[in-house]
Amino acid sequence: MTHMRKKKHHTPKPQIFDEIKSFFSNYSSHLQLPENVHADIIGGEPLLHPDISSIAEELFKYRNLYSTLRIVTNCTVAPPDDLLELINSLDPEKKIIYFYLSNYGELSKKAEEIKKTLQKYNIPFSEVYYFGDNPEYGGWVDMGFENEDIPYSLEIAAANFNNCRFAVNRCIPIHNGYVFLCTYAMGRFLKGLPPVGKGELLKISGGGAGMITNDIQGIIRGKFESAPEICCKCNGFDVKNSLRLTPAIQIT
Protein backbone atom coordinates (compact mmCIF):
# COMPACT_ATOMS: atom_id res chain seq x y z
CA MET A 1 0.00 0.00 0.00
CA THR A 2 1.34 3.38 -1.00
CA HIS A 3 1.35 6.18 1.54
CA MET A 4 -0.28 9.11 -0.20
CA ARG A 5 0.44 12.74 0.64
CA LYS A 6 -2.19 15.45 0.77
CA LYS A 7 0.06 17.79 -1.19
CA LYS A 8 2.07 17.09 -4.31
CA HIS A 9 5.60 16.13 -3.36
CA HIS A 10 8.66 14.99 -5.28
CA THR A 11 11.83 13.86 -3.56
CA PRO A 12 14.53 16.20 -4.95
CA LYS A 13 16.79 14.65 -7.58
CA PRO A 14 20.04 15.33 -5.62
CA GLN A 15 18.62 13.44 -2.64
CA ILE A 16 17.59 10.50 -4.82
CA PHE A 17 21.02 10.40 -6.45
CA ASP A 18 22.62 10.45 -2.99
CA GLU A 19 20.47 7.50 -1.88
CA ILE A 20 21.36 5.52 -5.01
CA LYS A 21 25.07 6.18 -4.61
CA SER A 22 25.02 5.52 -0.87
CA PHE A 23 23.31 2.17 -1.23
CA PHE A 24 25.00 0.78 -4.32
CA SER A 25 28.47 2.37 -4.08
CA ASN A 26 29.07 2.81 -0.36
CA TYR A 27 27.16 -0.15 1.07
CA SER A 28 26.78 -2.90 -1.51
CA SER A 29 30.37 -4.08 -0.98
CA HIS A 30 29.49 -4.72 2.69
CA LEU A 31 26.03 -6.17 2.13
CA GLN A 32 26.77 -9.31 0.11
CA LEU A 33 23.71 -8.77 -2.05
CA PRO A 34 21.94 -11.99 -3.04
CA GLU A 35 21.78 -13.10 -6.64
CA ASN A 36 18.93 -12.07 -8.93
CA VAL A 37 18.29 -8.74 -7.23
CA HIS A 38 15.63 -6.67 -8.97
CA ALA A 39 15.66 -2.88 -8.62
CA ASP A 40 12.27 -1.13 -8.69
CA ILE A 41 11.46 2.54 -9.25
CA ILE A 42 8.16 3.05 -7.45
CA GLY A 43 6.18 5.89 -5.86
CA GLY A 44 3.48 7.11 -5.50
CA GLU A 45 3.59 7.28 -9.25
CA PRO A 46 7.20 7.53 -10.49
CA LEU A 47 6.18 8.84 -13.91
CA LEU A 48 4.96 12.03 -12.20
CA HIS A 49 8.49 12.86 -11.11
CA PRO A 50 9.91 15.58 -13.40
CA ASP A 51 13.36 13.93 -13.27
CA ILE A 52 12.28 10.33 -13.89
CA SER A 53 14.56 9.99 -16.94
CA SER A 54 17.63 11.23 -15.05
CA ILE A 55 16.79 8.95 -12.12
CA ALA A 56 16.51 5.90 -14.37
CA GLU A 57 19.79 6.80 -16.08
CA GLU A 58 21.58 7.21 -12.74
CA LEU A 59 20.26 3.92 -11.41
CA PHE A 60 21.27 2.16 -14.62
CA LYS A 61 24.92 2.99 -13.85
CA TYR A 62 24.80 0.29 -11.17
CA ARG A 63 23.28 -2.38 -13.42
CA ASN A 64 26.08 -4.83 -12.57
CA LEU A 65 24.61 -5.00 -9.03
CA TYR A 66 21.09 -6.09 -10.00
CA SER A 67 19.42 -8.28 -12.60
CA THR A 68 16.59 -6.08 -13.85
CA LEU A 69 15.37 -2.52 -13.43
CA ARG A 70 11.61 -2.26 -13.20
CA ILE A 71 9.58 0.95 -13.50
CA VAL A 72 6.30 0.44 -11.64
CA THR A 73 3.35 2.53 -12.81
CA ASN A 74 -0.37 2.62 -11.98
CA CYS A 75 -1.15 3.57 -15.61
CA THR A 76 -2.53 7.01 -14.83
CA VAL A 77 0.35 8.86 -16.53
CA ALA A 78 1.91 8.13 -19.90
CA PRO A 79 5.72 7.72 -19.87
CA PRO A 80 7.49 10.69 -21.48
CA ASP A 81 9.12 10.15 -24.86
CA ASP A 82 12.55 11.10 -23.56
CA LEU A 83 12.36 8.27 -21.00
CA LEU A 84 11.39 5.73 -23.65
CA GLU A 85 14.16 6.90 -25.98
CA LEU A 86 16.63 6.77 -23.09
CA ILE A 87 15.63 3.18 -22.27
CA ASN A 88 16.19 2.12 -25.86
CA SER A 89 19.62 3.74 -25.88
CA LEU A 90 20.67 2.29 -22.51
CA ASP A 91 19.28 -1.19 -23.00
CA PRO A 92 19.08 -1.89 -26.76
CA GLU A 93 18.95 -5.66 -26.22
CA LYS A 94 15.96 -5.28 -23.86
CA LYS A 95 17.42 -7.47 -21.14
CA ILE A 96 17.44 -5.16 -18.12
CA ILE A 97 14.78 -2.40 -18.11
CA TYR A 98 11.07 -3.06 -18.31
CA PHE A 99 7.77 -1.63 -17.11
CA TYR A 100 5.50 -3.19 -14.51
CA LEU A 101 1.91 -2.08 -15.12
CA SER A 102 -0.49 -2.11 -12.16
CA ASN A 103 -3.87 -1.94 -13.85
CA TYR A 104 -6.68 -0.56 -11.69
CA GLY A 105 -9.39 -0.73 -14.32
CA GLU A 106 -11.27 2.54 -14.79
CA LEU A 107 -8.76 4.40 -12.62
CA SER A 108 -5.86 3.37 -14.88
CA LYS A 109 -7.11 5.48 -17.77
CA LYS A 110 -3.81 5.35 -19.68
CA ALA A 111 -3.34 1.57 -19.53
CA GLU A 112 -4.16 0.77 -23.15
CA GLU A 113 -2.31 3.82 -24.43
CA ILE A 114 0.79 2.90 -22.42
CA LYS A 115 0.80 -0.68 -23.68
CA LYS A 116 0.57 0.49 -27.29
CA THR A 117 3.35 3.02 -26.73
CA LEU A 118 5.65 0.46 -25.12
CA GLN A 119 5.00 -1.94 -27.98
CA LYS A 120 5.81 0.86 -30.43
CA TYR A 121 9.15 1.44 -28.70
CA ASN A 122 9.68 -2.32 -28.33
CA ILE A 123 10.07 -1.97 -24.57
CA PRO A 124 9.04 -5.07 -22.55
CA PHE A 125 6.40 -4.89 -19.84
CA SER A 126 4.36 -7.08 -17.53
CA GLU A 127 0.86 -6.35 -16.25
CA VAL A 128 -1.09 -7.25 -13.12
CA TYR A 129 -4.76 -6.52 -12.49
CA TYR A 130 -6.20 -5.00 -9.34
CA PHE A 131 -9.82 -4.99 -10.43
CA GLY A 132 -12.51 -7.47 -11.41
CA ASP A 133 -13.35 -10.79 -9.82
CA ASN A 134 -9.79 -12.02 -9.39
CA PRO A 135 -7.45 -9.12 -8.54
CA GLU A 136 -3.78 -9.69 -7.76
CA TYR A 137 -3.45 -11.09 -4.20
CA GLY A 138 -7.23 -10.72 -3.91
CA GLY A 139 -6.85 -6.96 -3.44
CA TRP A 140 -4.72 -4.72 -1.31
CA VAL A 141 -3.69 -6.25 2.01
CA ASP A 142 -4.30 -4.57 5.38
CA MET A 143 -0.87 -4.82 7.01
CA GLY A 144 -2.13 -3.68 10.40
CA PHE A 145 -0.97 -0.14 11.13
CA GLU A 146 -3.56 0.04 13.93
CA ASN A 147 -2.04 -2.84 15.91
CA GLU A 148 -0.12 -0.68 18.41
CA ASP A 149 -1.86 -2.22 21.43
CA ILE A 150 -0.75 -5.75 20.60
CA PRO A 151 1.99 -6.77 23.08
CA TYR A 152 5.05 -8.55 21.81
CA SER A 153 4.56 -12.28 21.45
CA LEU A 154 7.07 -14.62 19.87
CA GLU A 155 4.19 -16.83 18.75
CA ILE A 156 2.33 -13.98 17.03
CA ALA A 157 5.53 -12.66 15.43
CA ALA A 158 6.48 -16.12 14.18
CA ALA A 159 2.99 -16.78 12.76
CA ASN A 160 2.95 -13.45 10.90
CA PHE A 161 6.50 -13.92 9.66
CA ASN A 162 5.83 -17.43 8.39
CA ASN A 163 2.75 -16.23 6.48
CA CYS A 164 4.44 -13.15 5.03
CA ARG A 165 5.18 -13.14 1.33
CA PHE A 166 8.07 -10.73 1.87
CA ALA A 167 9.75 -13.17 4.24
CA VAL A 168 10.32 -15.39 1.19
CA ASN A 169 10.57 -12.80 -1.60
CA ARG A 170 12.67 -10.10 0.02
CA CYS A 171 11.64 -6.51 -0.68
CA ILE A 172 14.06 -3.91 0.70
CA PRO A 173 12.61 -0.37 0.52
CA ILE A 174 14.94 2.63 0.27
CA HIS A 175 13.28 5.96 1.05
CA ASN A 176 14.40 9.39 2.24
CA GLY A 177 17.94 8.24 3.00
CA TYR A 178 16.98 5.07 4.90
CA VAL A 179 16.96 1.38 4.08
CA PHE A 180 14.16 -0.55 5.79
CA LEU A 181 13.55 -4.12 6.88
CA CYS A 182 10.33 -4.25 4.87
CA THR A 183 7.50 -2.10 3.55
CA TYR A 184 5.73 -2.31 6.91
CA ALA A 185 8.79 -0.91 8.69
CA MET A 186 8.86 1.94 6.18
CA GLY A 187 5.15 2.52 6.64
CA ARG A 188 5.56 2.81 10.40
CA PHE A 189 8.40 5.28 9.90
CA LEU A 190 6.32 7.44 7.55
CA LYS A 191 3.41 7.42 10.00
CA GLY A 192 5.71 8.58 12.81
CA LEU A 193 5.46 5.32 14.75
CA PRO A 194 8.55 4.23 16.74
CA PRO A 195 10.58 1.12 15.86
CA VAL A 196 9.38 -2.05 17.56
CA GLY A 197 12.82 -3.65 17.79
CA LYS A 198 16.34 -3.44 16.46
CA GLY A 199 17.42 -3.73 12.86
CA GLU A 200 14.30 -2.20 11.29
CA LEU A 201 16.00 0.70 9.53
CA LEU A 202 19.39 2.20 8.80
CA LYS A 203 20.21 5.71 7.66
CA ILE A 204 22.43 5.34 4.60
CA SER A 205 22.74 8.90 3.27
CA GLY A 206 22.82 12.46 4.53
CA GLY A 207 23.89 13.55 8.00
CA GLY A 208 24.26 10.82 10.60
CA ALA A 209 24.44 7.95 8.12
CA GLY A 210 25.11 4.73 9.97
CA MET A 211 27.50 1.85 9.52
CA ILE A 212 26.50 -1.58 8.28
CA THR A 213 25.62 -3.90 11.14
CA ASN A 214 24.86 -7.60 11.38
CA ASP A 215 21.20 -6.65 11.78
CA ILE A 216 21.13 -4.85 8.44
CA GLN A 217 23.08 -7.66 6.82
CA GLY A 218 20.30 -9.95 8.03
CA ILE A 219 17.74 -7.64 6.49
CA ILE A 220 19.35 -7.74 3.08
CA ARG A 221 20.08 -11.45 3.06
CA GLY A 222 16.73 -12.39 4.54
CA LYS A 223 18.37 -14.68 7.09
CA PHE A 224 16.80 -14.53 10.54
CA GLU A 225 17.37 -16.79 13.52
CA SER A 226 13.84 -15.90 14.63
CA ALA A 227 11.02 -13.64 13.46
CA PRO A 228 11.87 -9.91 13.80
CA GLU A 229 10.05 -8.22 16.69
CA ILE A 230 8.20 -5.89 14.33
CA CYS A 231 6.28 -8.89 12.95
CA CYS A 232 4.09 -8.96 16.06
CA LYS A 233 2.57 -5.59 15.06
CA CYS A 234 2.09 -6.44 11.39
CA ASN A 235 -0.60 -8.65 9.94
CA GLY A 236 2.04 -9.92 7.58
CA PHE A 237 1.72 -9.64 3.83
CA ASP A 238 -0.38 -12.74 4.20
CA VAL A 239 -2.03 -13.36 0.84
CA LYS A 240 -4.35 -16.00 2.34
CA ASN A 241 -5.65 -14.58 5.59
CA SER A 242 -5.15 -10.78 5.85
CA LEU A 243 -8.05 -8.35 5.48
CA ARG A 244 -8.40 -6.96 1.96
CA LEU A 245 -9.02 -3.35 1.00
CA THR A 246 -10.61 -2.21 -2.23
CA PRO A 247 -7.72 -1.86 -4.67
CA ALA A 248 -6.78 1.63 -5.77
CA ILE A 249 -9.31 3.42 -3.58
CA GLN A 250 -6.50 5.64 -2.28
CA ILE A 251 -5.44 6.90 -5.69
CA THR A 252 -8.82 8.34 -6.70
Mark whether 113 and 147 lie in a shared domain. Answer: no
Mark whether 121 and 156 lie in a shared domain. Answer: no
pTM for this one? 0.82
**pLDDT tens sequence across 102-126:** 999 888 999 999 999 999 999 999 9
Mark whether 128 and 162 lie in a shared domain. Answer: no
User: How many domains does one find in the chain?
Assistant: 2
pLDDT of residue 41: 95
Mark whether 75 and 30 lie in a shared domain. Answer: yes
pLDDT of residue 250: 45
Collect contacts of 28-33 with beta carbons under 8 A, ≥24 apart.
28/62, 28/65, 30/212, 30/217, 31/212, 31/216, 31/217, 31/220, 32/217, 32/220, 32/221, 33/65, 33/66, 33/220
Show which of 140, 173, 188 is a domain's final residue.
140
- Residue 148 above 80 pLDDT? no
Q: Which residue has the higher pLDDT, 228 or 57?
A: 57
Which residues span the domain enclosing 78? Answer: 11-140
Mark whether 27 and 132 lie in a shared domain. Answer: yes
Q: Are 250 and 76 in contact (CB under 8 A)?
A: no
Structural domain includes residue 248: no
Mean pLDDT, to the nearest integer, of 82-109?
95
Structural domain includes residue 228: yes
- Give percent of the chain with pLDDT exceeding 90: 33
Structural domain includes residue 247: no
